[in-house]
Structure 1
Amino acid sequence: MDLLNYDVLAKSGYEGYVCKEAPVRVLQFGEGNFMRAFVDYFFDISNEKAGFNGKVALVQPIAQGLTELINKQEGLYTLYLRGSENGEKVDAKRVISAVDCCLNPYDKADYDKMMAIAASDDLDIIASNTTEAGIAYDPSCKFEDVPANSFPGKLTQVLYTRYKAGKKGVVVLSCELIDNNGKELLKCVNQYIDQWQLEESFKTWVNEENIFCSTLVDRIVPGRIRDPKEVEELEKINGYHDELIDVGEIFGVWIIEGPEGLEDRLPFKKAGVNVHVVPDVMPYKHRKVRILNGAHTGFVLGAYLAGFDIVRDCMHNDNVAGFMNKMLNEEVIPTLVDHLDENDLNAFAAAVKDRFNNPFVNHELMSISLNSTSKWKARNMPSFLQYIDKNGKLPVCLTMSLAAYIAFYSNDIQELTDAGLVCKRPAGNTYTVSDDRWALEFFYEHKGESEEELVKAVLGNEKMWDQDLNKIDGLTDAVVADLKMIHTEGAEKAYASCL
């Protein structure tokens, strides 16, 4: 079967939207599955729906990457967005044609092509996702390196070329998974300007003529289809061979922090996609962390003890799903309404329930359980404490969730190994808790204690919580009672008692 390219696509009978020719308006650092299923998807829709008329030139951030493969397919690849939407199964296929080419800047010819794009009148946007470690200042980078090894160093070189060509500033959309990603990227660029002793006028141009946006990205991207039989069946249907098939969940939202007027400069609002420019991205980060991530951490530990193994099955159980829904709707969302619209929060929570019910993803509870001590502190404790401050009482579900965390980490402890803390599930099989070593050693040291002794020790561990939670009125007794219920009646009935 022929490898996908424009001629092969035309012969295959594909009837979807295709943009073969357009100027390169976006330079994108990062060519992996996530960016192709997220950023390039939104630009592809913008070409179709908003007349963006722009191509994306991808740049692989490190010396090894997908450049050769992407160029063989002329930038084309098949994207499947799969999941559950409003309770209905969705499996949507689209051939993405927004990508112009991929460049390996460690090759001198491609480096020169990258700089030609940098100096182009057409360039308006630079996007990036170079992993969390990508936004880092490496003082070993030199201005004359071809290219600078760090991503911020490469970006400084690109911006300097653009400045020297006398071109306008660009919009920089940073998608790396760190707080204030855009601000941190600009900070690194300024460090290179100072280290390399570049003109003060260039520094002024970078900081005043370019817009560095912190952004929040949200789409689960499994990437490749792992079943070769499924790939073979899809390629028979498609009529071509595709080495770059990509898969993401149907849900996707991109929150971009930027000034007034930026939304009109970007094509996404006109395209009608789920991309929004806001003055401050942090409330939306709190929304994601507390609702999406907090829901996971809030119910999975007890659900695993109750006999469940994957998230989707939990959503088909009235007690576990009901527990999660009550936790989100009555305890978490009310703590966020001061900063975000309640209808928006409810819609996001409804989408979370669809995402957890994704029929294409077997999301294992044990994979979510990794490092639950720090996760509970970061994802659930802010809602827990704010609920108490707001209502003067304990949140029933979040309190039970804290008891379930203790139960998961202490259930019939067998041994402490290099791999983690080995516990026994009520069903009889063992499982290994993975977390920071000090947290595992703490629970191992307290094995065999009564519920009262264990709860008091956990709540009083200030290394875990940065405070003594025993001081919260009524919490110790409530967690003890919940833990005893989990032990005597099982986690599912304990969750049901909250309803």
Structure 2
Amino acid sequence: MTTKLAAENLTEISSRVHVPGYDRAGLSAGILHFGIGNFHRAHQAVYLDELFETGRDHDFAILGAGVMAGDEKMRQALGGQDFLTTVVDQSAAASNARVTGAMVGMLPVGDAQAIIEKLADPAIRIVSLTVTEGGYFIDSTGRFNPEHPAIAADGKTPDDPKTVFGLIAAGLKERRGRGLSPFTVMSCDNIPHNGVVAKNAVAGTARLSDPAFADWITENVAFPNGMVDRITPATGDRERRLLEEEFGVEDAWPVFCEDFKQWVLEDNFPAGRPALQNVGVQFVPDVTPFEIMKIRILNGGHAVIAYPAGLLDIHFVHEAMEHPLVAAFLEKIEQDEIVPAVPPVPDTDLQVYFGEIKRRFANPKIGDTVRRLCLDGSNRQPKFIVPTIADRLKEGHDVTGLALESALWCRYCFGETESGAVIEPNDPNWDLLVPKAQAARADPGEWLGMDDVYGEVGRSDVFRELFAHWLRTLWDEGTEKTLKRYLDGTR
């Protein structure tokens, strides 16, 4: 027998899962969050739920907001269960479920005036966002693109914005007009220097209609950088069924995630912040070393295993880690080329960190898919892989394994696995990537000529020769034999 998730049923549910031990009626919104997706609900919302359990900072509850069509579906699902979420964290040995209650509501999706009015509420001291790496209107170098049609439209109608950044700018302008101090804008997306990127997006949008106000934003609004980490797959019928079978809870949109989470934040919150250091958040003066470590070792490691596994028709990430050649490829490229390119990180042993990464990747409970790791390579490769290549080339160090990783991505974008199965579009730029990958079979330079991805790396004679060699080998001998050649050094 299952019980529907709802505030009135928490007592009954509490015999099976952990439920909020605090009075949710005493919560008030201090954070307005754009992008109430799975990652947010498994990360920021969990940290706040744990903090509220200690009796602290009940005036920093979350109020949701959104501008995408999918956000309305989430609003309906969560609204039907009093904005509660069941979060199931899973290790290889056990699964633990908790109902989180840190969210107190969600504004009408896309209602610019309602959102701006709430942004102007002095009770809102933090505006946070998880809008994905691709949602910041930036190019491969991280530069904001004010010519994007959505941003350009907000520049023409700043009082009726449609984008998150147009709304944030409008909210800040309304606060300034009312004589209120600005809120802090806290990006929770997996982007290097995400605070800087968010600042450029907000100020860049404002600059299209009011350059002086854009300067005011740059000078007066805090945009702390942060590093976030928790593997959180998408929710489907499998997850809903597992929750009902294992815990007897009927949740319209539960979140399943790994048992690991990490959050490192620059301590720059002039409007005030919750005491998240009490529940494990690291506040530091500079997030950069942590960002580089995570992006290169974890996200880069995801890319390393993704494309060979995808070509070999492997479905789940933990199954990729069970494949001896894929696992050995990850080990060798990390130890030889990626970890050595990571600068020292305060109070962190990089070998211990990499060991934890391998444990996480191998967790069979997560159900994370290889296809998800392969997603959006045109956006992720320039952030997670190419900077490591560039640094190693600059120092005259070997990039043999990283060249193979790039060749594997190219081969994947040909659109066909080694068994002949069609790879369905898996990148916003898929229609551009497939012809490039097909042309690269005869002329590898066609792939490396994507300047928005490779930049100077694509013009390096050393890298071009290695890439061409590995791409030819993949076509001539296949993925497994190519991995063997790399692993035993017989190029």
Common topology (TM > 0.5): yes
Unaligned 5+ segments in structure 1 are: 410-419, 448-453
Contact (CA 8 Å) 1:50, 1:270: kept in 2 or not? Answer: no
State the alpha-carbon separation in 2 of the partners of residues 203 and 383 from structure 1. 34
Paired residue for 2:155?
139
Match of 1:293 in 2: 299
Matched, 1:150 2:159: no
Aligned to 2:223: 212
**Structure 2 residues not aligned, in runs of 5+:** 138-150
Q: In structure 2, do the counterparts of structure 1 residues 13 and 478 end up closer, same or farther at CA, with 3 Å as the change threshold?
A: closer
- Deviation of residue 498 (structure 1)? 4.8
Aligned partners of 2:315 and 2:370 also within 8 Å: yes
1:38 to partner: Cα distance: 1.9
User: CA contact under 8 A between 1:56 and 1:98: conserved in structure 2?
Assistant: yes
Q: Distance in 2 between matches of 1:187 and 1:404?
A: 33
Is 1:497 matched up with 2:483? no
| Structure 2 residue 40 is matched with structure 1 residue 35 | yes
Kept after mapping to 2: 8 A contact 1:104/1:111: yes
Q: Which deviates further from its counterpart, 179-188 or 8-17?
A: 179-188
2:102 equivalent to 1:101:
no
How far apart in 1 are the matches of 2:203 and 2:474?
Answer: 52
Separation in 1, partners of 2:53, 2:14: 19
User: Does structure 1 retain, via aligned residues, the 8 Å contact 2:311–2:479?
Assistant: no
CA distance in 2, matches of 1:387, 1:187: 29
User: Which residue in 1 is equivalent to 2:6?
Assistant: 5
Cα pair 1:290 1:380 within 8 Å, conserved: yes
Q: Is the 8 A contact 1:90 1:250 kept in 2?
A: no
Distance in 1, Cα, partners of 2:472 & 2:237: 45
Aligned partner of 1:111 among 109, 114, 124: 114
Any idea what SS the aligned residue of 2:294 has?
Answer: helix
**Contact 1:403/1:482 (<8 A) preserved:** no
Q: Which residue of 1 aligns with 2:345?
A: 340
Matches within 5 A, 1:315-464: 315-337=321-343, 340-341=345-346, 343-365=348-370, 368-369=373-374, 379-390=384-395, 392=396, 394-395=398-399, 397-401=401-405, 404=408, 408=411, 421=414, 425=418, 428-432=419-423, 440-441=434-435, 444-445=438-439, 457-458=443-444, 462-464=448-450
Q: Deviations over 1:120-153 (max 9, x none)?
A: 3x4322212345446646123243x4xx333233
Q: Give me the whole-angstrom Cα distance separating, in 1, the residues matched to 2:466 and 2:389.
A: 11
Equivalent pair of 1:470/1:476 in contact (CA under 8 Å)? no
Q: How far apart, CA to CA, are the structure 2 residues paired with 1:378 and 1:342?
A: 24
Indicate whether 1:46 and 2:62 are aligned: no
Matches of 1:242 and 1:433, distance apart in 2: 30
1:301 & 1:133 partners in 2: Cα distance?
24
Percent identity between matched residues is 21
Higher Cα Rg, which structure? 1
Residue 9 of structure 1, CA deviation: 0.4
1:174 is the counterpart of 2:187: yes
SS at match of 2:265: strand
Q: Secondary structure at the match of 1:213?
A: coil
State the number of aligned residues. 458
Q: What RMSD in Å do the two structures reach over aligned CA positions?
A: 4.3
What residue number does 1:246 align with? 255
TM-score by length of 2: 0.75
